[in-house]
Amino acid sequence: MSDAVEVAIVGAGPYGLSLAAHLRKAGVSVRQFGLPMQLWRDSMPEGMFLKSQGFASNMSDPDHTHTLEAFCRATGLPYASYGLPVPLDTFVAYGRWFRDELVPDVEEVLVTDVAQAGGGFEVTLANSEQLRARKVVVAIGVEAFAHVPEPLSALPSSVCTHSSAHTDLGAFRGQEVVVVGAGQSALETAALLHEKGASVQLVARKGKIIWNGPPLPLDRPLLQKLNEPESGLGSGWATWFYSNQPGLFRRLPRSTRVYRARTALGPAGATWLRSRVEGQFPVLTGYSVTWARVQDGGVRLGLAEAGGSSRELAADRVIAGTGYRTDLTRLPFFGDQMLAGLRTVPGTGSSAVGRDYQTSIPGLYVMGPAVAPTMGPVMRFVFGSEHAATTVARQLTGGAVSRSPAAVTAGR
């Protein structure tokens, strides 16, 4: 058993890296485990752009010196706080820089077990090391929760995969591919497949694809700014509230929180993606996949429309751009004892947390997408890392970390 640490952080994505930066600056003894920016490196397609604006894609650091803008300035990469989509490889490189500069000792090993022991926790790593930690913070994002709905989930992976399984969509050049879904991930996957030489069809259950509007002009009249304020997650008062007030969101009635966390900022395509989809390849809206089977080494899908009509599609492969569903029971490192003590938000697989992100197990914290039904939709975005990291760091350091209000507004 290794020496005890004060805090073990499980996860090295934007949330975990941000928290580690705050705790290290405050002198807390920390060990952090996970593969830095793994989701962004291994589960997103080459050529992708972020949907969030530049100013809303910052990780949180105590001195506000390690922003995406600072990284782009230091490396000469193009950057605009607003209106210029951030390429995936720029964001991955930003994550690497942030880690190298602020949290260089992330340990690239996965956690296989977390159990309560002696008033703290015993953490087991994939390399068999065991350590004691007084507190554990779980920031594991969405990777473990890729969702493939029925009947696609019954197909073998040789013909059906989740969109997160692909970084190189050029591998499908010359193949017929059906993409299922209506969100940014499905739409961008379909556009990239088409641009890389696959023959694509998109199937969406919704009656029409929702497209986000173009960014609002920066110099719009004050009255318009008051009517429709800009914030990290987009424009409008509701979005402003989700972006900037996760602590107040937590006080809304549970049913409202669960509904808003699921539906607010729901599936929609970025404005800059629209011309790469519309008119480029067939988009079948209003159709659900009702059955699916392997046929001639490829796949055959039965589609039904709400109005009652049906049709069939044949393709080499189907890719489910159907998002993620948090379900803590799917995490490999919580055994029955931990799951029994971990209160979830009813109707979801997400952990219930207090205002300090602490779960029903004292000393165990969860942050990021897994607590969206408590802290709101901002937890599904990098922008939420400021609130989460500063709040948890403040709690773990007895108040030594403060949050700059400037960092949680539109920043422009």
Ligand X SMILES: Cc1cc2nc3c(=O)[nH]c(=O)nc-3n(C[C@H](O)[C@H](O)[C@H](O)COP(=O)(O)OP(=O)(O)OC[C@H]3O[C@@H](n4cnc5c(N)ncnc54)[C@H](O)[C@@H]3O)c2cc1C
Nearer to ligand X, 313 or 382 (CB): 382
Nearest-angstrom CA–CA distance, 310 and 140? 40
Cβ closer to ligand X: 180 or 313? 180
Dihedral sign from CA coordinates of 218, 274, 40, 373: positive
* Cβ closest to ligand X, residue 31 vs residue 250: 31
**What whole-number distance in Å separates Cα of residue 182 and Cα of residue 153?**
18
DSSP per residue, 209-254: --BPPPPPPTT--HHHHHHS-EETTEESHHHHHHHH-HHHHTTS-H
Question: Least distance to ligand X from the beta carbon of 264, Å?
Answer: 14
Match 């207090």 to its residue by tokens: 354
- Report the nearest approach of ligand X to the CB of residue 9 (Å): 9
How many CB atoms lie under 10 A from the CB of residue 209?
20
Cα–chain center distance at 113: 23
d(CA 68, CA 195): 28
Q: What does the alpha-carbon distance between residue 368 and residue 398 come to, in Å, rounded to a whole number?
A: 21
Nearer to ligand X, 36 or 229 (CB): 36
Between the CA of residue 260 and those of 35, 184, 264, 403, what are the distances in Å? 31, 19, 5, 25
Q: Which two tokens stand for residue 94?
A: 């930003």
Contact 279, 299 (CB under 8 A): no
Residue numbers of the site for ligand X (CB under 6 A)?
10-16, 33-36, 38-39, 44, 50-52, 57, 110-111, 139-143, 185, 332-333, 368-369, 380-383
For ligand X, the closer CB: 142 or 209: 142
Task: Find the shortest distance in angstroms from Cβ 85 to ligand X.
Answer: 9
CA distance 292 to 52: 34
Q: In this complex, which beta carbon is closest to ligand X, that of residue 111 or of residue 292?
A: 111
Asked whether the beta carbons of 318 and 302 are under 8 A apart, the reply is no
Least distance between ligand X and beta carbon 366 (Å) = 10
* Contact (Cβ atoms closer than 8 angstroms) between residue 371 and residue 393: no
Cβ proximity to ligand X, 241 vs 333, nearer residue:
333
Least separation in angstroms between residue 294's CB and ligand X is 27
Residue 379: CB minimum distance to ligand X, A: 8
| Residue type, position 238, single letter | A
**Least distance (Å) between residue 265 CB and ligand X:** 10
DSSP notation for 191-209: HHHHHTT-EEEEEESSSS-
The minimum distance between CB 352 and ligand X, in angstroms, equals 17
**Smallest distance, Å, CB 52 to ligand X?**
3
Considering the complex, what minimum distance in angstroms separates the CB of residue 384 from ligand X? Answer: 7
User: Side-chain half-sphere of 122: how many Cα atoms within 13 Å?
Assistant: 10
Residue 166 or 194: the one with the smaller Cβ distance to ligand X is: 166
Which is closer to ligand X, CB of 260 or CB of 303? 260
- By beta-carbon proximity to ligand X, the closer residue of 8 and 313 is 8
